[in-house]
């Protein structure tokens, strides 16, 4: 189990982020400059609104400290590949989705360590493990930022090769995601069973609220329907694998899969059930 957490988990996330990078182009980053307004609305929803709504949800459901921290960690994670796929299925603005994923994923190296450290201390108090912000930032760079950058570079300088390996990397990433979620649940099975009711209700409520709030804010901001659908999905869909990995980094590997990982693991399953009705609705309009 220790080997799986200390080596397998970070390596798996790195492969998942590499698969994200291989699907990106430099133009995806440049596009932000040409579409500043819709990008700004999406970025505010992800970076500011999402954690605020998660914090309110944690308080409303009176979640146990470790589960509360897990909720907050999940809320700090960007959308990842899943949000891009769902935006495409919803007939949304895929280019905007990809640009948001690309930039927010890189920005998370700076934002997540500080926010995660604050959450741990705020909710766990004296029981909080010591969190090294510098250590988390370095880890975030190595397992998220660097693989994305390598993927983008590969796409730019070896385009044909990148396109050939992209489907294989996506398949590997999907399999690894499933294995990580199963392992995280198995490692905290009793805690999962004991808190499934309140945690499941909290996660589903948070997911629905974020999808609706993202959509509502985008419409108030007078974005197009395609852009609004994308902002909704980018606000409501998070990278649960990154959440599980962050939980493991915060609590170290000696304790097995961290209880802090439970919300991300459960969310990795429930988000599809919650997103499906929205995708069908978005496709119908």
pLDDT tens digit string along 9-49? Answer: 677 778 878 887 887 787 777 777 778 899 999 999 999 99
pLDDT higher for 209 or 84? 209
Per-residue confidence (pLDDT) for residue 5, from 0 to 100: 59
pLDDT higher for 159 or 58? 58
Q: How confident is the model at residue 156 (pLDDT cuts 50, 70, 90)?
A: confident
pLDDT at 143 > cutoff 90: no
pLDDT at 183 > cutoff 80: no
pLDDT at 254 > cutoff 60: no
Closest CA to 9 of 269, 266, 261, 272: 261
Q: How confident is the model at residue 256 (pLDDT cuts 50, 70, 90)?
A: low
Percent of the chain with pLDDT over 70: 93
Q: How confident is the model at residue 118 (pLDDT cuts 50, 70, 90)?
A: very high
Closest CA to 24 of 108, 99, 109, 107: 99
Average pLDDT (198-206) is: 91
Average pLDDT (135-162) is: 86
CA 69 vs CA 49, 63, 76, 96: distances in Å:
17, 9, 11, 30
**CB 241, CB 180: distance < 8 Å:** yes
H-only helix segments in the chain: 2-3, 9-22, 26-34, 36-44, 50-60, 65-76, 80-89, 94-124, 133-140, 146-157, 159-187, 189-220, 225-236, 240-251, 262-284
pLDDT higher for 11 or 253? 11
This prediction has a pTM of 0.85
pLDDT at 255 > cutoff 60: no
Average pLDDT (103-112) is: 85
Percent of the chain with pLDDT over 90: 33
Per-residue confidence (pLDDT) for residue 245, from 0 to 100: 83
Q: How confident is the model at residue 252 (pLDDT cuts 50, 70, 90)?
A: low
Interatomic CA distance for residues 43 and 175, integer angstroms: 29
Per-residue confidence (pLDDT) for residue 282, from 0 to 100: 92
Lowest mean pLDDT among 46-50, 134-138, 212-216: 134-138
pLDDT higher for 82 or 62? 62
Interatomic CA distance for residues 97 and 7, integer angstroms: 30
pLDDT digits (tens, 9 = 90+) for 78-103: 877 788 888 888 988 888 888 888 88
Per-residue confidence (pLDDT) for residue 6, from 0 to 100: 60
Average of per-residue pLDDT values in the chain:
85
Name all contacts of 183-187 with Cβ < 8 Å and 24+ positions apart.
183/4, 183/257, 184/244, 184/257, 184/261, 184/262, 184/264, 184/265, 185/262, 185/265, 185/266, 186/257, 187/1, 187/256, 187/257, 187/261
């Amino acid at each position: 189990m220790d080997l799986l957490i200390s080596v397998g988990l970070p390596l798996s996330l790195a492969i998942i982020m590499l698969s994200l990078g291989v699907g990106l182009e430099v133009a995806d980053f440049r596009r932000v400059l040409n579409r500043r307004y819709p990008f700004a609305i999406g970025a505010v929803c992800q970076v500011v609104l999402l954690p605020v709504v998660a914090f309110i949800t944690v308080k409303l459901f009176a979640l146990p400290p470790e589960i509360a921290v897990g909720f907050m960690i999940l809320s700090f994670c960007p959308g990842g590949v899943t949000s891009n796929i769902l935006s495409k299925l919803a007939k949304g603005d895929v280019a905007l989705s990809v640009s948001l994923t690309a930039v927010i994923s890189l920005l998370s190296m700076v934002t997540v360590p500080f926010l995660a450290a604050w959450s741990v201390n705020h909710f766990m108090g004296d029981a909080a493990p010591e969190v090294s912000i510098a250590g988390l930032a370095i880890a975030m760079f190595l397992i998220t930022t660097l693989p994305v950058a390598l993927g983008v570079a590969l796409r730019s300088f070896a385009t044909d090769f990148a396109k050939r390996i992209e489907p294989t990397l996506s398949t590997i990433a999907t399999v690894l995601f499933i294995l990580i979620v199963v392992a995280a649940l198995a490692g905290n099975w009793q805690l999962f069973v004991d808190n499934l009711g309140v945690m499941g209700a909290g996660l589903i409520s948070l997911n629905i609220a974020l999808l609706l709030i993202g959509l509502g804010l985008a419409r108030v901001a007078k974005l197009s329907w395609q852009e609004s659908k994308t902002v909704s999905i980018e606000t409501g869909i998070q990278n649960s694998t990154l959440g599980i990995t962050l939980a493991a980094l915060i609590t170290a590997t000696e304790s097995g899969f961290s209880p802090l990982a439970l919300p991300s693991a459960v969310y990795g399953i429930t988000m599809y059930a919650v997103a499906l009705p929205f995708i069908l609705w978005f496709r119908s309009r």
